[in-house]
Amino acid sequence: MHLEPQSGWLNDPNGLCFFKGRYHVYFQYAPGSADGSGKKCWGHFQSRDLISWEFTGTVLFPDSPDDADGVFSGSAVVRDDTLYLFYTGNVEQQGDFDLITAGRGANTILVTTKDGVTMSEKKVVLRNSDYPGYCSCHVRDPKVWEQDGRYRMVLGARTLDDKGCVLFYSSRDLECWEFEKQVRTDDLGYMWECPDVIRMGGKEYLSISPQGAAHGKYSFQNVYSSGYLDMNTGVYTEWDCGFDFYAPQSFIAPDGRRILIGWMGIGDIPYTNPTAALGWQHCLTVPCELTLGGDGKLLRDPVAEINSLVTHRQVLAGGIGLFRSEFLYLGASDYPCEEEQFRVYRRVLEGMHGKKVIIRTLDIGADKQIDYFGLDKEENPALGLRAIRICLTRPELFETQLRALYRASVYGKLGIMFPMITSVGELERIRHICEKVRNDLSGEGIRFCENVEIGIMIETPAAAIISDRLAPMVDFFSVGTNDLTQYTLACDRQNPALEQFADTHHEAILRLIEMSAKNAHASGAWIGICGELAADLSLTETFLRMGIDELSVSAPFVLPLREKIRSLDLSK
């Protein structure tokens, strides 16, 4: 689902639209240069279903005086039976110019097409002289759309005092454009590229890709940022906190969804991609549907069409034995809201088509620290405030996650698992909070599944020893052998010097697992193992004879484990 060039260099997605029964994705393209040094053209993909794509080739070339040095980024708008494409024609004059304040032409050019491939003659609709006098020569990337009976255009720009901004224009005929306003902030870089206006839920957002924003400890870590401004509050939120995401563009699908695609790459990178040696570089992101979260943030989810590409992993495996929800927090710059979590959990449950999904509640602390949680530094974090202890000391955080989980439960077969349990009192408090959440949802008329399984992790000796008292309060146990080994043998699993002492086959560990299995079954609960030992084929028979009901392993170990189980004769 990642569109890639057959050869050459790909960057910004352009002209995203649905036209005459097909989705169209244009992109900046240097077909003869994998390092991007060639002149930029536009390449083109088309699809009827967002799954199967056809590459039609290079459709726009820098072949006129007004775009002699590159067909830069732009957009598309459909009018009757014609597709109107707007882009920036780059022209660099010969001479002693800095190409910032002088020597560069940034022409906004219009072409039309009846089939998405064959282009009309080019017409310049805006030149440097048409832009405000405070702008440098860097004005580019027109995004055009229709709104309130007029056509609108935004252009990214760099001012003469090195501030990024976006220029707003309007037109009645797509050819004559009038300047309306600019939007800028003083602390978000020197250039704003690839602007896009997104209207959703009665709110308006301005997507931009600012260059020159100051890097923070956990924010703006990409070479250049990419995010959106809430036009009501002025708050800027990054689209993606990872690397190699830039210049996204959105469009409206025929069913009303707003779909966003970005460039899975970045310019001016301090590293090289291994594919460059093979003659091509970069790809586009998976198409994502945008929705509005409960906190006013925009959420991205892969389009539903991708569900048709479910792989054999979900056929071979019996479900998901451990979904680590903490990665929703680790990959964010702030606490994920209820709506954001709900959509992720729902997507996972729907994708498993009725197979069981065990989602572990927030498990941070110890080796997983998150700056915005503001946790105090601890001398021994493995024995400190972590996992369920954080949830019980911050009930509002816990309830937000539980609400999202219960809401998602109607979309599949959900089990909720709580980590780091050491006492009956903790479990009683958890059950009380779960009951409160269910009552709140009922009072609000929100659906949830009444028979969601509740389980705990057996990862401390305390939990294993009192498993006879814990078992009647839950539907299942899941043994976390990594931490159980650490706490039983007093071996910090983050200390490589202790590896020779951390014997995962230690008799004490196996006895604790067997004790937990016996007590689980005595109370009608089932028991699984989700730590690394679950994939240890030398222990498979031992676990089965103990009465372990489920072994949760990562995808590469599913088939070897099944073959091992089928080879065993437990009647002997």
Which domains are seen in the chain, by residue range? 8-304 (2.115.10.20), 310-421+435-451 (3.20.20.60), 456-572 (3.20.20.60)
Kindly provide the residue ranges of all beta strands, DSSP E only, lying in 115-234, ordered along the sequence: 123-126, 135-147, 150-159, 164-171, 178-184, 191-200, 203-211, 227-230
Residues 34/9, Cβ–Cβ less than 8 Å: yes
Per-residue confidence (pLDDT) for residue 315, from 0 to 100: 46
Q: Kindly report, residue by residue over 36-83, the tens digit of the pLDDT.
A: 888 899 999 999 999 889 999 999 999 999 999 999 999 999 999 999
Per-residue confidence (pLDDT) for residue 313, from 0 to 100: 45
Tokens of 518: 């016996």
* DSSP-derived secondary structure for 391-447: HHH-HHHHHHHHHHHHHHGGGSEEEEEE-S---HHHHHHHHHHHHHHHHHHHHTT--
Rg for the chain, CA atoms, rounded: 28
Q: Which regions in the chain score pLDDT beneath 70?
A: 308-317, 331, 366-368
CA angle (317 as vertex; 503, 518 as ends), nearest 5? 50
DSSP state at residue 469: H
Q: Kindly report, residue by residue over 238-273, the tens digit of the pLDDT.
A: 999 878 899 999 999 999 999 999 999 988 888 878
453 phi/psi in degrees, rounded to 5 = -75, 140
Q: What residues does 28 pair with on adjacent strands?
A: 42
